[in-house]
Amino acid sequence: MKALLYDTTLRDGNQDRKISLSLADKLRIARLLDSFGVDYIEGGWPNPSNPTDEEFFEKVRELKLSHTKIAAFGSTRRPGISPQKDPLLQALIKSEAPVKTIFGKSWDLHVTEVIRTRLEENLNMIESSVEYLKKYSEEVCYDAEHFFDGYKENPSYAMETLKAAERGGADFLILCDTNGGAMPWEVEEITKEIKKYFSTPLGIHVHNDSGLGVANSLYAVKSGAVMIQGVFNGYGERCGNANLTTIAANLNFKLQRNFFAKRNISKLRSLSVEIDQIVNVPNDVRAPYVGDAAFAHKGGAHIDGVMKVARSFEHINPLSVGNDRVFVTSDQAGGSLVVEKLKEIKPGIDKKDPEVAKLLKLIKERENAGWHFDSAEASFKMLAFRSLGLFNAPFEVLNYRVIEDKTPDGVSVSQASVKLKIADEISHQVSEGDGPVNALDAALRKALLPYFPYMEKVRLDDFKVRVLGSNVGSDATVRVWTTFGDEKEQWNVAGVSANIIEASWLALVDGLCYKIIKEAKRSKTTTKIVKRVSKKG
């Protein structure tokens, strides 16, 4: 049987303290997951207290998804009430989701001390709820909440809860490590044991509280589980859920399992990045397989090895998940790396060329002064363009100024003026902003926009400042790190100075000059990469 990916980003992921998904967000993510080939998407818990989730199940029917099945989540009926009269089960039916997933108590501690009912009544709750929902569903998944804890304390009762769900007609029995405390060897042993007694397919749902969400999921698969529940990028309550991004890659490359989304595994990184953008959280640079640093090499010996035999330092080809190999430029990098990077800029350059030695010296000097090119690749390229004589400045900075003021009602306002010479013309613009950097950024773009219309689409996505230290705190050198983006890509630029405004200005200018270079290369308008322009272009 194929492995099945069951995504619960829209419910469990939405319980992350930094995430609050709108209806539009949920629908966008559902489209992405369906396009990737996820088998099940849990849309949320439909009930009157969750209007967004209720509306999601109405709107998602209009998407006409090509592969994935939509699941609605809920619980078993409450003690002492029939399924027909339970409002939460009625809400599940009202959702019209083809798949219903309900959780029930498999740990006797929860039965007697949390929901405070009899052990036998809990078994009846599970069986009757599953049986009732089967009449209104294509499939019913039963999530055995806290199963591993329950099994370790009272294995016979935990087994009885699964038998009750199976008698009710459950299509999948999901073993849950709800508090994330199970160890891989426990998951393996218990899953193997359960597999002996049940013909109903098993699934796994684990949380990452011990940092073992992915490992526990894979051990469950090895032991017979076919449905893997988790969250892409590992969002979730507390320490998050098992990361389906990493699980999908491991299923493909390490376990060689067959699953529907396998055909799209080369799109894994783009899926991960797009979901991060929708939920508005930074990409995890260290994320296995898909992070910016997943295939980044900085040490000279490592770089040398990868350049000779890639698999000597890389466990898979980065392109197989849509990622890229990155050689980090720093004072640890040798001439071979610099040459490889320079070949993108100046084909045919050789390690013996004096230009390479000159650039290596510049890199070491800049890093000693506080620049970090390993996190500012665009800054390295700008340094290389200038060092190789390939950069003809598109504008000359005549003057810039920032004024801080406070309105009568006590609101601080920053005003920046920028004066540039572009071709034979003067562009002088003034802008206000929430702070000095925001005002400078706005004024600089305003000055450039008539000559470079594509500046309208450039964003300043991130801005960070780090004090690099000195004998006196107020005169410390600072490093500004910025991330620019447009509709095609992002690029990182740094600026270093004892003056925070100057450091910011250096980063802003280089960030926008880099955009001009990229556009000139795309249009192939000049062999010098950048040429002076006028309003007539």
Helix (H, G, I), strand (E, B) or coil at 533: coil
8 A C-beta contact, residue 230 and residue 242: yes
Q: How many residues does the chain have?
A: 537
Q: Which residue has the higher pLDDT, 95 or 406?
A: 95
Is the whole-model pTM more than 0.85? no
Quote the percentage of the chain above a pLDDT of 70. Answer: 89
Q: How far is CA 303 from the centre of its chain?
A: 26
Q: Judge residue 315's burial from the number of C-beta atoms within 10 Å of its C-beta, 0-12 exposed, 13-18 middle, 19 or more buried.
A: exposed
> What is the pLDDT, as a whole number, of residue 526?
44
8 A C-beta contact, residue 219 and residue 225: no
Query: Hey, what domains does the chain have and what are their CATH numbers?
Result: 4-279 (3.20.20.70), 396-523 (3.30.160.270)
Beta bridge partners of 142: 102, 173
CA 43 – CA 73 distance, rounded (Å): 7
pLDDT band at residue 434 under the 50/70/90 scheme: confident
Q: Which residue, among 250, 241, 293, has the nearest Cα to 268 in the 3D structure?
A: 250
8 A C-beta contact, residue 41 and residue 230: no
What value does the mean pLDDT take over residues 221-228? 97
8 A C-beta contact, residue 69 and residue 109: no
Q: How far is CA 246 from the centre of its chain?
A: 11
CA 455 – CA 439 distance, rounded (Å): 16
Helix (H, G, I), strand (E, B) or coil at 125: helix
pLDDT band at residue 393 under the 50/70/90 scheme: confident
8 A C-beta contact, residue 231 and residue 242: yes
pLDDT, mean over the chain: 87
Read off φ and ψ for residue 32, nearest 5 degrees. Answer: -60, -45
Q: How far is CA 385 from the centre of its chain?
A: 32
The beta strands (E) that lie in 45-136 are given as 69-75, 99-105
Other C-beta atoms lying within 10 Å of the C-beta of residue 189 = 14
Q: Which residue has the higher pLDDT, 167 or 297?
A: 167
Contacts of 177 (CB under 8 A, 6+ apart): 146, 147, 148, 149, 187, 205, 206, 207, 216
CA 307 – CA 89 distance, rounded (Å): 59
For helices 500-523 and 436-448, the axis angle rounded to 10 degrees is 30
Q: Which residue has the higher pLDDT, 158 or 329?
A: 158
What value does the mean pLDDT take over residues 372-397? 83
In Å, what is the CA distance from 117 to each residue of 74, 111, 176, 354, 363?
A: 19, 6, 21, 81, 69
Q: What single-letter DSSP state applies at residue 419?
A: E
The beta strands (E) that lie in 146-224 are given as 172-177, 202-206
Q: Match 């099940």 to its residue by tokens.
A: 40
> What is the pLDDT, as a whole number, of residue 534?
40
Over residues 492-512, the pLDDT tens digits come to 898 999 899 999 999 999 999
Q: Which residue, among 193, 213, 212, 214, has the nearest Cα to 202 in the 3D structure?
A: 193
pLDDT band at residue 262 under the 50/70/90 scheme: very high
Asked if pLDDT for residue 399 goes beyond 70, the answer is yes
In Å, what is the CA distance from 7 to each residue of 13, 29, 204, 279?
A: 9, 11, 12, 15
> What is the pLDDT, as a whole number, of residue 531?
39
CA 418 – CA 398 distance, rounded (Å): 8
The beta strands (E) that lie in 260-319 are given as 296-297
Contacts of 519 (CB under 8 A, 6+ apart): 452, 454
Over residues 252-261, the pLDDT tens digits come to 999 999 999 9
Q: What single-letter DSSP state applies at residue 324?
A: -
Other C-beta atoms lying within 10 Å of the C-beta of residue 351 = 13
What value does the mean pLDDT take over residues 27-54? 91
8 A C-beta contact, residue 208 and residue 240: yes
CA 66 – CA 292 distance, rounded (Å): 30
What value does the mean pLDDT take over residues 252-274? 94
> What is the pLDDT, as a whole number, of residue 335?
57
The upper half-sphere exposure of residue 133, i.e. CA atoms within 13 Å in the direction of its Cβ, equals 42
Among 148-157, 221-230, 298-307, 358-367, the least confident range: 298-307
Q: Match 């796994």 to its residue by tokens.
A: 204
Instruction: Report the alpha-carbon angle 15-463-410, nearest 5.
Output: 90
Q: Which residue, among 39, 43, 15, has the nearest Cα to 29 in the 3D structure?
A: 43
Read off φ and ψ for residue 38, nearest 5 degrees. Answer: -65, 140
Asked if pLDDT for residue 443 goes beyond 70, the answer is yes
> What is the pLDDT, as a whole number, of residue 461?
82
What value does the mean pLDDT take over residues 57-67? 92
Helix (H, G, I), strand (E, B) or coil at 458: coil
366-404 in b/e form (b: 16+ CB < 10 A) is: bbeebbbbbbbbbbbbbbbbebbeebeebbeeeebebee
Rg value, the chain, Cα: 29
Among 19-23, 212-216, 229-233, 466-470, the least confident range: 466-470
